[in-house]
A = this chain, B = another copy of it.
Amino acid sequence: MVGGGPGAFIGGVHRMAARLDDRWELVAGAFSRDADRARAAASELHVAPDRAYADFRAMARAEAARPDGIDAAAVVTPNASHHAIARAFLDAGVHVVCEKPMATTLADALDLVRAARDGGRVFVLTHNYTGYPMVRQARAMVAAGEIGAVRVVQVEYPQDWLATRLEDTGNQQAAWRVDPAQAGPAGSLGDLGTHAHNLAEFVTGLRLEAVCADLSAFVPGRALDDNAQALLRFRGGARGALWSSQVSPGNENALRLRVYGEKAGLEWSQEHPNQLRFGPLGEAPRTLARGAGGLRPEAAAATRIPAGHPEGYLEAFAQLYRDAAELVAARMEGRSPDPLASQAPTAEDGARGVRFLEAAVESSRRGAWVEAALDP
């Protein structure tokens, strides 16, 4: 693991998620660029002192050289460093599990796509919402034609925690998100909108063609958007709308996707992730439940406990680590991976996300539709 010293939020999530299915063990880390802190963190996390690094390049070199070196590196540092770190491990022949976004520019994103592809390395991007069983159920239903050709996609991700100048109160999570130097070219759209974009593409299998966006910074003094609305056009004719917001009171992490096809509709909400509403045209809508009979194998494979016992965010996150374990094992064993594990978001997905962001920012600036297609 690179980053994720004690106290960092997302590092702890990655560790719990990796632990859940007992497929990974944390054996090395560059938890801090300060050598003392790195060693202290390693000790607290039960990592041997000789595998506690202060420099990710040193870690990549040393671990690659060890016979018992790491199988994969988890990159959980701030956004701006993702590209360099992931690249270092890929170059050293180490598989990578990388926090989103994979890069802050399209060029860097495409560079990682090529590096992973050319080196034959696994690159899993933790767009974690794709790990929810009912999200995979939805994707499988769309792919199987259960809702017919998709016509309309409504996706949204509102929050409220940045409705005031929280960045002035010493809150570090807030501070970096509103700073273009650390967060990149977009605020709410980068932090939340890319999850929404990814989820829409993941479930529908559609690819974005063009976007018309309107980014706003409502809280005085903000350089980046804290609210964004966008119209979406997908290849093949489907139409959509996307909304991300950090300033909508009463919303915590209200990621929600609705997909309507010729024959049926699907609705899913992250805050109640164990249910999927399925509305076949002309019939009473049904509530499909995680773990229940009759679900598709894609959902069943991502399910740990029986119906009615809710799984949540950590389990969904753990699913990507379980997928990554299978993908890495398959590479090491020279076999094809379980196709179910191949659903984990890839470097290509990440690059499309970066392209979406760039196009949306440009669209909002110009007040016009902008092409957003990318085939990395």
Contact = CB atoms under 8 A, between A and B. Distances in A.
10 contacts: A151-B216, A154-B156, A160-B260, A214-B233, A216-B237, A216-B239, A250-B277, A252-B308, A272-B310, A274-B312
A253 to B, nearest CB: 3
Given A250-B267, A305-B313, A260 B272 contact: no
A274 B312 CA distance: 10
Interface stretch (A33-41, A198-206, A288-296, A323-331): A288-296
Given A250-B264, A280-B249, A241 B239 contact: no
A159 B264 contact: no
A287 B272 CA distance: 14
Contact of A308 (B240, B249, B254): B254
B265 A227 contact: no
Interface in A211-243: 212, 214, 216, 218, 227, 229-231, 233, 237, 239-241, 243
Interface of A: 9, 12-13, 15-16, 19-22, 46, 147, 151-152, 154, 156, 158-160, 163-164, 212, 214, 216, 218, 227, 229-231, 233, 237, 239-241, 243, 245, 247-254, 258, 260-265, 267, 270-274, 277-289, 291-294, 304-315, 367-369
Nearest to A282: B293
A251 B265 CA distance: 9
Given A20-B20, A214-B231, A249-B263, 15 more contacts: A16-B304, A19-B20, A163-B262, A216-B239, A241-B241, A248-B260, A249-B265, A250-B267, A250-B277, A250-B278, A250-B280, A251-B279, A287-B287, A304-B314, A312-B312
